[in-house]
Amino acid sequence: MKTVTVAHGDGIGPEIMDATLRIIKASGANVEFDEIQIGEQVYLDGNTSGITDEAWDSIRKHKVFLKAPITTPQGGGYKSLNVTMRKTLGLYANVRPCTSLSPFVQTKHPEMDVVIVRENEEDLYAGIEHQQTDDVVQCLKLISRPGCEKIIRYAFEYARHFGRKKVTCFSKDNIMKQTDGLFHRVFDEVAKEYTDIENEHWIVDIGAAKLADTPEAFDVIVMQNLYGDILSDVAAQITGSVGLAGSSNIGENSAMFEAIHGSAPDIAGKNIANPSGLLRGAIIMLNHIGEGEAAAKIEKAWYKTIEDGVHTPDIYREGSSVKKVGTKEFSDAVIDNLGQEPSQLNVSATSAKGAFKLPQLKERPLARKELVGVDVFADDKDKNPNEVAKRIKLIEDNGLELLMITNRGVKVWPNGFDETYCTNHWRCRFMPTDGSTISKADIVQLLSNAVENGVDVIKTENLYEFDGVKGYSLGQGQ
């Protein structure tokens, strides 16, 4: 008997979890549950992480976690527990299937069958943010090559395992040439190893528009964390309701299953929430732990209930629905339908196949890394870049010269435009004019000169070349 850790969560969490557990128990699945408490009450009891040590122990021991949505209290320094759990447990792949249930659930996209594979550990979700001047704050977007490779390989393996034909990559590499550029490059490299699967790349903005308009053009889409977070909600919503989609968070050692939606405090306690998202998360979980028979039985009963037109208010529509029911009544109907077959909707391929072996990273040699310059960021309330440049030039030393100054990424010195609005946050690029490499001591000397000359340095970024390729972006207009 497999033990699954379960958390009832906040808002509509307890209602949809009760419904889901009742259905799993009635299906005869070979599982038992270890219940833990996480979320709002734990936060409000003074634990800013929202999870106790005992709860961590259960999740790490059983390695399979079914989680209802939780509420992250606003402000107060509370960190999102969802993000903490995904990252702490190394659950790098967030898989969100979004499939239309036409004609039973109304949607403008009856042919839609898209799986969003979202990177789950990196990107702006590192939560590394700093205020640097009175006017300017920063959020660090961290993307790693292993992080890209793991999620992209996962997407291709997923496609191969579940008989899908195409993997699409969304990125914004026309603007973020380093971060999104790396994601796209790794995608192209990995895609070459999967000749049986079609591949393509879209710039995320037009890709998102196409997804919202013509989702049937896509099969599996792999994305970084933020784009995947936003677009999986869009994808779920346009199948009929955000309340319909479940998701898995998969890592090397453990896995977490949930609905994609949040705790919906606006409808909590009213017995009107749709439990389908969490139930579908549970179906993916049962497949993952080898309980494929129970998973298929539940999925068929759920499809039958949807086909019968027994719908919660979020998907109830006059004409296509037959009976409007609450959370509990919906789950009663699914239980009554256990053992029955749907007439039109097909059990998903995931039900038949179960989990697959996670792909391994390829070893690669380290590149030759050379320090070729430094960006010194300074806080200066002067609005005139030429005046700022005069002060910054005073710190030049050891052949390191001020090459350019940018403000919010745009080159404003030399030869800036009067029209460009300048904040008090100046990036000053120093490089040797003869193109030679520099040392860390040269940077220390620059900073020492800055202190002596009253230049308010807020941070520095080293400029490297890797195997002779620039590892930094140019200023816009440079």
- Contact positions vs ligand NAD (CB under 6 A): 12, 69-72, 82, 242-243, 258, 261-267, 273-274, 277, 314
Give me the least distance between CB of 59 and ligand NAD, in Å please.
Answer: 15
Give the residue among 238, 168, 233 at the shortest CA–CA distance from 197.
168
Give the residue closest to ligand NAD by C-beta: 262
Pick between residue 243 and residue 475 the one whose CB is nearest to ligand NAD: 243
Q: What is the dihedral of CA 341, 237, 273, 335, to 10 degrees?
A: 10
DSSP 8-class letter at 241: -
Residue 60 Cβ, how far from ligand NAD at the closest point, in Å? 19
Q: Cβ 149 to ligand NAD, closest distance in Å?
A: 26
Token reading at 43: 């936060």
Min dist CB 304 to ligand NAD, Å, is 20
| Shortest distance (Å) from residue 40 CB to ligand NAD | 8
Shortest spacing between CB 355 and ligand NAD, in angstroms: 21
Whose tokens are 């606003």? That residue is 74
Nearest distance, CB of residue 262 and ligand NAD, angstroms = 2
Q: Answer for the pair 188, 181: CB distance below 8 angstroms, yes or no.
A: no
CB 39, CB 295: distance < 8 Å: no
Cβ 264 to ligand NAD shortest distance, Å: 4
* Closest approach of ligand NAD to the CB of residue 334, in Å: 15
Nearest to ligand NAD of 332, 375 (CB atom):
332
Cα separation, 118 vs 97, whole angstroms: 11
Q: Which region holds residue 10: left if phi is over 0, alpha if psi is between -120 and 50, else beta?
A: beta
Pick between residue 72 and residue 406 the one whose CB is nearest to ligand NAD. 72
Rank residues 72 and 224 by Cβ distance to ligand NAD and give the closer one: 72
Classify residue 265 by its DSSP letter.
G
- In the complex with ligand NAD, the residue whose CB is nearer, 71 or 248, is 71
- 3-state DSSP call for residue 279? helix
Rounded (5°) CA angle 262-212-241: 35
3-state secondary structure of 90: coil
Comparing CA positions, the residue from 402, 400, 310, 296 lying closest to residue 354 is 296
**Closer residue to ligand NAD in complex, CB, 275/373:** 275
**Among residues 243 and 385, whose Cβ is nearest to ligand NAD?**
243
Residue 408 per-residue DSSP state:
T
**Spatial CA neighbour of 228 closest among 115, 116, 140, 148:** 116
* Shortest CB 67 distance to ligand NAD, Å: 7
Helix (H) or strand (E) holding 404: strand 400-407
Question: Please, is 468 exposed, middle or buried when counting C-beta atoms within 10 Å of its C-beta (0-12, 13-18, 19+)?
Answer: exposed
Nearer to ligand NAD, 273 or 446 (CB): 273
What token pair was written down for 443?
């940077």
> What values do phi and psi take at 95, rounded to 5?
-110, 125
- What's the length of the chain? 478
**Single-letter residue type at 76:** G
DSSP string, 153-188: HHHHHHHHHTT--EEEEEE-TTT-TTHHHHHHHHHH
* CA gap 422, 318 in Å, rounded: 56
Q: Based on CB atoms, which residue is closest to ligand NAD, 148 or 242?
A: 242
Q: Minimum distance from CB of 31 to ligand NAD (Å)?
A: 21
Residue 50 or 359: which CB sits closer to ligand NAD? 50
Of the pair 109, 261, the CB lying nearest ligand NAD is at 261
